[in-house]
Amino acid sequence: MLRYIYGRDLHKFPKLARTMFEDRADQFRTRLGWDVFVDDQGQERDRYDRLDPLYVIWENADGGHGGSMRFLPTTGPVMVNDVFGHLTGGNPVSSPMIWECTRFCLSRNAGSNVAAALMLAGGEIMEGFGIRHFVGVFDARMVRIYRAIGSSPEVLGSEGEGRDRISVGLWAFSDEAKARIASRAGISPDMSRMWFDHAFGPAREMELALTA
């Protein structure tokens, strides 16, 4: 199932949180060879994890991590501006209508539907919070994954060649895309919305809170 958890609440899900940070270390340092910090417990965290981000996590049947993404509003510190600002020509991405998505991670034993399920969750966040776009940095290996899921971004800037190419992308989410991605994930739109409402309450109540 999909979980929506703010950083301040991760302690309520100790196994899920631990295995997420362990899988991040496994993916980003062990498999991809990125220069990321891994602590003595084998978990990968960075400074953005201290900013109370919203995590979307696919929880396996055993309570462990199957895949995850991390979201922060671009009105505060975000990686796309702090680290990769040169890819957008030095023009910061900053809007209450744009959130950054980072640390897209899949466990080694993730099912074939998990990547699409995470994208579906991103669409629920957009709809529920009134967000128009996500922005994020991705490498060349993700192009095929996004295309297969049916959620390819608009590329704002890139550098490098071949497998070393990295880009900044901007994602939107339409009703057509939601139906397509839900089908790919094997999750009904009603089930997806139920998981979102379980975390935040009915979307109608959220919209009222945002406009109050």
pLDDT bin (cut points 50, 70, 90) of residue 204 is: very low
Q: How many CA atoms lie within 13 A of 112 on its CB side?
A: 4
Do residues 43 and 67 touch, judged by C-beta distance below 8 A?
no
User: How high is the pLDDT of residue 4?
Assistant: 98
CA separation for the pair 209, 3 (Å, rounded) = 21
Q: What is the pLDDT of residue 208?
A: 44
The pair of structure tokens assigned to 16 is: 């899920």
> What does the pLDDT read at residue 173?
86
Q: Is residue 212 part of a domain?
A: no
Residue with tokens 């196994």: 15
Statement: residue 151 has pLDDT above 80 = no
Q: Is the pLDDT of residue 6 over 70?
A: yes
Taking all residues of the chain, what is their mean pLDDT, rounded to a whole number? 91
Quote the CA–CA distance of 81 and 83 in Å, as a whole number: 6
Token pair, residue 164, equals 């070393």
Residue 110 lies in a domain: yes
Confirm whether 163 is domain-assigned. yes
Per-residue confidence (pLDDT) for residue 175, from 0 to 100: 83
- Does residue 131 form part of some domain? yes
Radius of gyration for the chain, computed over Cα atoms and rounded to the nearest angstrom: 16
Domain span including residue 124: 2-204
Q: What is the pLDDT of residues 19-41, one digit of tens each?
A: 999 999 999 999 989 999 999 99
pLDDT-based confidence at 202, cuts 50/70/90?
low
Number of domains forming the structure of the chain: 1
Q: What is the per-residue pLDDT across 78-115, written as a single tens digit (0 to 9) for each?
A: 999 999 999 988 889 999 999 999 999 999 999 889 99
pLDDT digits (tens, 9 = 90+) for 43-64: 999 999 999 999 999 999 999 9
Q: Which residues pair with 101 in a beta bridge?
A: 71
Share of the chain above pLDDT 70, in %: 95
**Residue 209 within any structural domain of the chain:** no
End-to-end CA distance of the chain: 31
Quick one: DSSP state of residue 44?
Answer: B
Cβ–Cβ under 8 Å, residues 96 and 46: no
Residue 18 belongs to a domain with what CATH number? Answer: 3.40.630.30
- Residue 211 inside a domain? The answer is no
Given a cut of 50, whether residue 129 has pLDDT beyond it is yes
